[in-house]
Amino acid sequence: MKRLIHGFKLLTTALLMSGIGNFVAGATRVGELVCEYHTDPIGIDVEKPRLSWKIFSDRENVTQSAFQIRVAELPSNLKKNALVWNSGKVNSGQSVNIEYNGPKPKSMQRLYWQVRVWDHRGKATPWSEPAFWETGILHSEQWIASWITMPNEKKAEESKPCHYLRREFAIAKKVRSARVYVSALGLYELYLNGIKVGDELFTPGWTSYKNRIQYQTYDVTEMVRSKVNVLGAILGDGWYRGNIGFNKQHNYYGDQLALIVQLCITYTDGTVETIVTDDSWKATTGPILSSDIYNGETYDARLEMPGWASPGFNDSLWSRVEIKDHSRNVLVAPQSDPVRAVMEINPVKIIITPKGETVFDMGQNMVGWVRLKVKGNAGDVVSLKFAEVLDRDGNFYTENLREAKVTDTYVLKGEGEEVYEPRFTFHGFRFVKIEGLSDTPSLENITGVVVHSDMQPTGHFTCSNPLINQLQQNIQWGQRGNFLDVPTDCPQRNERLGWTGDAQVFSPTAAFNFNVAPFYTKWMKDLAADQLPNGKVPHVIPDVLRGEGGSTAWADAALIVPWNTYLAYGDKRILEVQYSSMKAWVDYMKNRAGDNYLWIGDNHFGDWLAFPIKRSGSQESTTEKDLIATAYYAYSTQLLANTARVIGKKEDAEEYELLSEKVKNAFVNEFVTTEGDLISQTQTAYSLALAFNLLPDKSIPQVAANLADDVRKFQHLTTGFVGTPLLCKALSDNGYEDLAFMLLMRKEYPSWLYPVTKGATTIWERWDGQKPDGTFQDPGMNSFNHYAYGAIGEWLYNYIAGIQIDPKAPGYKHFFLAPHLGGGLTYAEAVYKSMYGEIRSQWNIEDNQMNYEVKIPVNTTATVTLPSALLEDVLFNGSSLKSIVEIEAWQNEKGVSLKLGSGEYIFNYPL
């Protein structure tokens, strides 16, 4: 039935289409099973893991009416019905995040599961292929390993050589399976018989170390040898005791590195042997002379110890380790995606700068490091320095990195081609300055290794404007670079901290580009762990600013991030888990505000880095912080009420709904003038009032008109971190979408596209990081990779492509498809891989004809709005929409709307 329209631009979305190709014609099947968002996870400690699946069908309008899950200890038991848990047939349309409800899982237990569903006609699918999850160490007393540390290390304020630890052990029986559970104070790399275990980086990750330290679980069945084996580990300072924060802090969490390892080997006879860290391990230092996240790594290859992690190595000169007294109760299993080397980039050119520096251009501002390939003599020193930009004259520019030394130094051993890459540091850079090469530099000398949390890519947006496409690329690169286990402000200077404000404004955009549910689940637990007893939320999470916090719009990450995660994934659990933290933050504001419901007088960051408006004596120069604080107080309280309702806390829901109303009224009384204007006549103030629903209906048109007037007056945005994410939305939702498009399409400073015209490949911290004359902003605060202003990404997906969440059916169980045309765009396409499957919204305009193609996943429905359409003109899959009796379509002021079930559909109509 599908008609291909002449000239229709079909874009490749292969990346997002995986897993949909192989099904039998006419069939509906279940696939892509995940547990806690991961495929076949091992080492999890969630007591009631949640199971999700996707349904694929070549029919239209398919929904699930019931499901059945069965769980067994072996895949073969599933068929035999020798089950640990059988859900029975459950009449439910839920196919995302269903709680396992069988007997409590034991530690280190693998359970296999499969599912079948009944469609809307009551027809059952075949059972899915089995999937599994495996638990880690669920009870802290099951940790029998000790924390071990290198003895007699002198206290120092700068990075010391990394530690190497090893232990040999012999086994006598045949191995059936082997798991190793590992963690560290500091960062670790684990080796078994000379080979690195797993491909995860920056383990054990960064958490609120005093309360939670992650351990990783690896399946090492294939790595254990018969007879003699060696476990080895390298420990680096990392976040634990390296430089952290902009206050020159060292040893923030502790000054001693430590390792804990528990290797459990199950033999074919069913017996289990456990090898642990204890005082029989030996330790030394080696070639990594220093290693620091901000400063880089120094590696002397002449000090390598070949075979140190393999059997037979002579460790007689190594010292014995000491047992370190440190809690094991803090050990938790990871929930986020691990950090990995996700992609590699080759440099595009070598530049000799006016100052004579040899600089590689990677062509992309990236985060990670470079792999160096060199030849030379023993003792030759090659150094690599990293920068985001070249200055106006084309010289290497590092002033904006502040005190971070960002230098990797490699001392050659002189043995032919040598390959080096660092382990426990990362850099944010596009340019690499190399010194000390004995040969002429060549592009083969370095390869960029892009490192970030390995989140599943879920979103894709393109349109007919190449500059907007570059903006979208920059947003995605900003996310890659700043989602390195923690959502950081920036990846390059001596900061790289989990700034809460930046994270919350970017969270809706983040959830389009990648699946961030696991990432935020972890980070939110750290937020709750680091929250102060009075509810105050630290500015950065994990907190390394000694509890400094409580700023409006920053601390509200406590509410906004879980709420956005719930909306994007239908994840109720994050709301349940975070509830007390959310409530504590709202109660904190309630205490600060007192009886008049206005939050006045506290210290806040305000509309950080807003365009400076200079008009003397005018209140317009900045948005009043008290106004922002009270707006966020109302908004977060509303979210708390919503949350309470979702998780069944009725009384709280009523209480906080009422409180939110009172704060809104107080906001209006205090900040809205009798003429219907706001006390702060700024785009940020207007956007907050509109987007947060703070105004009575009668005031909305006036405030919206004032916002529009202000935009017209300036012809550009004037917003900072607080206003920017809301500005275009406030304009679009209140009848001024032409202005939203004008702001988006603007190429001069200040605008989103100005950096693009300057060659940016990531989002800048400031609207004028590089000024029109080529000079830079204040180096004390000038990152070229800060995702906050990338929050416009949400508007690209929501409005231009028109994919919108329905808060009443979160996680895209029901959603809206309503593209907004404007800005001279002639086509746009977004693909979003939801928990149910792929959503596509793709339109183009040709000869005044609108062609719109959509895809709606099985077990969801969408309300589609065709902008500026007349019902009688619309062709639906080639036939007149009006004549199709099964479809209810209605004309409204936006165009034509209709409700559709799963399938792929094409609309054509004249504009």
Comparison of 605 and 905: residue with beta carbon closer to ligand BGC: 605
Comparison of 297 and 489: residue with beta carbon closer to ligand BGC: 489
Residue 761's contacts (CB-CB under 8 Å, 6 or more residues apart) are 363, 364, 365, 430, 470, 473, 474, 477
Comparison of 446 and 490: residue with beta carbon closer to ligand BGC: 490
Contact pattern from residue 608 through residue 637 relative to ligand BGC, giving x for each residue in contact according to CB under 6 A and a dash for the rest: x-----------------------------
Q: How far is CA 274 from the centre of its chain?
A: 36
Structure tokens at 245: 């924060």
Are 608 and 721 in contact by the 8 Å Cβ rule? The answer is: yes
For residue 705, give the 3-state DSSP assignment.
helix
Residue 461 touches ligand BGC, criterion: CB under 6 A? no
Closest CB 577 distance from ligand BGC, rounded Å: 25
Closest CB 562 distance from ligand BGC, rounded Å: 19
Closest CB 451 distance from ligand BGC, rounded Å: 20
Structure tokens at 18: 């995986």
Comparison of 738 and 778: residue with beta carbon closer to ligand BGC: 778
Comparison of 36 and 495: residue with beta carbon closer to ligand BGC: 495
44, 131, 490, 830: residue in contact with ligand BGC (rule CB under 6 A): 490
Residue 489 touches ligand BGC, criterion: CB under 6 A? yes
Q: What are phi and psi of 54, to 5 degrees?
A: -115, 155
Which has the closest alpha carbon to 719: 806, 803, 631, 620? 620
Residue 767 touches ligand BGC, criterion: CB under 6 A? no
Exposed, middle or buried by CB within 10 Å (0-12, 13-18, 19+), for 2? exposed
Size of the site for ligand BGC (CB under 6 A): 9
Residue 495 touches ligand BGC, criterion: CB under 6 A? yes
Are 778 and 770 in contact by the 8 Å Cβ rule? The answer is: no
Closest CB 605 distance from ligand BGC, rounded Å: 4
Region from 234-242, 328-336, 489-497, 845-853 binding ligand BGC, contact rule CB under 6 A? 489-497
Q: How far is CA 844 from the centre of its chain?
A: 31
Which has the closest alpha carbon to 751: 761, 763, 737? 763
Closest CB 495 distance from ligand BGC, rounded Å: 6
Comparison of 205 and 491: residue with beta carbon closer to ligand BGC: 491
Structure tokens at 452: 């970030």
Query: Is 495 annotated as catalytic?
Result: yes
Region from 7-15, 63-71, 494-502, 838-846 binding ligand BGC, contact rule CB under 6 A? 494-502
Closest CB 349 distance from ligand BGC, rounded Å: 30
Structure tokens at 125: 């699918």
Residue nearest ligand BGC, Cβ-based: 489
- Chain positions 396 to 425 lying near ligand BGC, rule: CB under 6 A, are none
Please state, as a whole number, how many other Cβ atoms lie within 10 Å of the Cβ of residue 127: 16
Comparison of 454 and 607: residue with beta carbon closer to ligand BGC: 607
Closest CB 746 distance from ligand BGC, rounded Å: 23
Comparison of 252 and 566: residue with beta carbon closer to ligand BGC: 252
Q: Which of 495, 624, 794, 829 is catalytic?
A: 495
Residue with tokens 């292929």: 129
Closest CB 454 distance from ligand BGC, rounded Å: 24
Region from 11-19, 355-363, 497-505, 509-517 binding ligand BGC, contact rule CB under 6 A? 497-505
For residue 430, give the 3-state DSSP assignment.
strand
Are 374 and 362 in contact by the 8 Å Cβ rule? The answer is: no
Closest CB 630 distance from ligand BGC, rounded Å: 19
Contact pattern from residue 717 through residue 746 relative to ligand BGC, giving x for each residue in contact according to CB under 6 A and a dash for the rest: ------------------------------
Region from 204-212, 411-419, 496-504, 752-760 binding ligand BGC, contact rule CB under 6 A? 496-504
Q: Which of 418, 421, 765, 829 is catalytic?
A: 765
Are 667 and 631 in contact by the 8 Å Cβ rule? The answer is: yes
CA 387 – CA 370 distance, rounded (Å): 13
Are 821 and 738 in contact by the 8 Å Cβ rule? The answer is: no
Residue with tokens 């991961």: 38
Are 119 and 28 in contact by the 8 Å Cβ rule? The answer is: yes
Closest CB 501 distance from ligand BGC, rounded Å: 5
Region from 107-115, 227-235, 493-501, 769-777 binding ligand BGC, contact rule CB under 6 A? 493-501
Residue 519 touches ligand BGC, criterion: CB under 6 A? no
Region from 134-142, 395-403, 498-506, 683-691 binding ligand BGC, contact rule CB under 6 A? 498-506
Region from 134-142, 422-430, 488-496, 867-875 binding ligand BGC, contact rule CB under 6 A? 488-496
CA 813 – CA 409 distance, rounded (Å): 52
Residue 183's contacts (CB-CB under 8 Å, 6 or more residues apart) are 203, 204, 213, 214, 215, 216, 259, 260, 331
For residue 824, give the 3-state DSSP assignment.
coil
Closest CB 237 distance from ligand BGC, rounded Å: 22
CA 453 – CA 586 distance, rounded (Å): 30
- Chain positions 108 to 137 lying near ligand BGC, rule: CB under 6 A, are none
Residue 388 touches ligand BGC, criterion: CB under 6 A? no
Residue 556 touches ligand BGC, criterion: CB under 6 A? no
Comparison of 764 and 812: residue with beta carbon closer to ligand BGC: 764
Please state, as a whole number, how many other Cβ atoms lie within 10 Å of the Cβ of residue 344: 12
- Chain positions 774 to 813 lying near ligand BGC, rule: CB under 6 A, are 786
Please state, as a whole number, how many other Cβ atoms lie within 10 Å of the Cβ of residue 909: 22
Comparison of 605 and 876: residue with beta carbon closer to ligand BGC: 605
Residue 891's contacts (CB-CB under 8 Å, 6 or more residues apart) are 870, 871
Greatest Cα pair distance in the chain: 88
Comparison of 321 and 505: residue with beta carbon closer to ligand BGC: 505
Residue 543 touches ligand BGC, criterion: CB under 6 A? no
Query: Is 168 annotated as catalytic?
Result: no
Residue 499 touches ligand BGC, criterion: CB under 6 A? yes
Which has the closest alpha carbon to 207: 178, 191, 184? 184
Q: How far is CA 754 from CA 481, 725, 737, 763, 769, in A?
A: 21, 17, 20, 11, 10
Which has the closest alpha carbon to 858: 211, 65, 48, 247? 65
CA 107 – CA 139 distance, rounded (Å): 7
Closest CB 498 distance from ligand BGC, rounded Å: 10
Region from 34-42, 72-80, 320-328, 495-503 binding ligand BGC, contact rule CB under 6 A? 495-503
Comparison of 124 and 781: residue with beta carbon closer to ligand BGC: 781
Which has the closest alpha carbon to 162: 229, 234, 219, 108? 234
Comparison of 87 and 682: residue with beta carbon closer to ligand BGC: 682
Residue 502 touches ligand BGC, criterion: CB under 6 A? yes
Are 553 and 559 in contact by the 8 Å Cβ rule? The answer is: no
Which has the closest alpha carbon to 832: 461, 279, 390? 461
Residue 605 touches ligand BGC, criterion: CB under 6 A? yes
31, 498, 501, 822: residue in contact with ligand BGC (rule CB under 6 A): 501
Closest CB 786 distance from ligand BGC, rounded Å: 6
**What letter represents residue 612's amino acid?**
P
Pairing of strands 296-300, 407-411: parallel
Residues forming the site for ligand BGC (CB under 6 A): 489-490, 495, 499, 501-502, 605, 608, 786
Active-site residue set: 495, 765
